[in-house]
Amino acid sequence: MSGNINLLDDTLAAAKAEGRSALIAYLPAGFPTVDGGIAAVKAAFDGGADVVEVGLPHSDPVLDGPVIQTADDIALRGGLKIRDVMRTVREAFEATGKPVLVMTYWNPIDRYGVERFTAELAEAGGAGCILPDLPVQESALWREHADKHGLATVFVVAPSSKDERLATITAAGSGFVYAASLMGVTGTRASVGEQAQELVGRTKATTDLPVCVGLGVSNARQAAEVAGFADGVIVGSAFVQRMLDAEDEQAGLAAVRALAGELADGVRGKA
């Protein structure tokens, strides 16, 4: 079976049927190495993640805070190429049968070629892409090829998005909507706050797509809080920080698995 948008849709629907939010983990490809990055994605799934976003490291990451920038820098200095990102998706999907997305800025796809990128991602078993900096009004070419290959197109909405704009974005998207919980870059926060809850409510008024919240969630208590109003809880920097803090790769993988377990309990209200 090929991994595609149907697998993503079914996974999110299954979490909802269990009366809980989905846990979505983010990990950059190529960090600490390509093989290490693949092992980290598998560890997140082993620990209890429902979906994993594989980051495509970029030299100018406008949405990413210092923790993910550090990991991206390590990956890029290691010589990471798009083919390594595709290999990460393929091996993680083949090992787990669970939905793997790619989160990437537009420039690398544009340079690689939209048709080539979508064809290779689908062939690798990928479920779709999160495109934080692709304006929806400029997304027709991407969506045409993504639809052809059965890939989800996940757009990002922010607290600053007006209701009319939210409706435009959600009408063009598929899979789920990524709600950025606050203005600013990725990173762990002491509080995820009311802004996120209000944004989820406004977004849900425009679409039947699941709305998943990212930016700032780092522990089980916050995951439980966000799970109270969102269809999915997205965690990235906290996973990367655990790997950066680990004394070696095996300790890093164990830390990723443990954090995924804590967060999985959080989204189930067991924290």
Catalytic residues: 53, 64
Element (H, E) at 117: helix 114-123
Task: State the Cα–Cα distance between residues 184 and 133, nearest whole angstrom.
Answer: 13
Within 10 Å of residue 9's Cβ, how many Cβ atoms?
18
Whether 86 contacts 124, CB under 8 Å: yes
- Using alpha carbons only, what angle is made at residue 10 by residues 168 and 36, rounded to the nearest 5 degrees? 95
Token pair, residue 260, equals 């995924």
Token pair, residue 202, equals 């406004």
Query: ω into residue 32 within 30 of 0, thus cis?
Result: yes
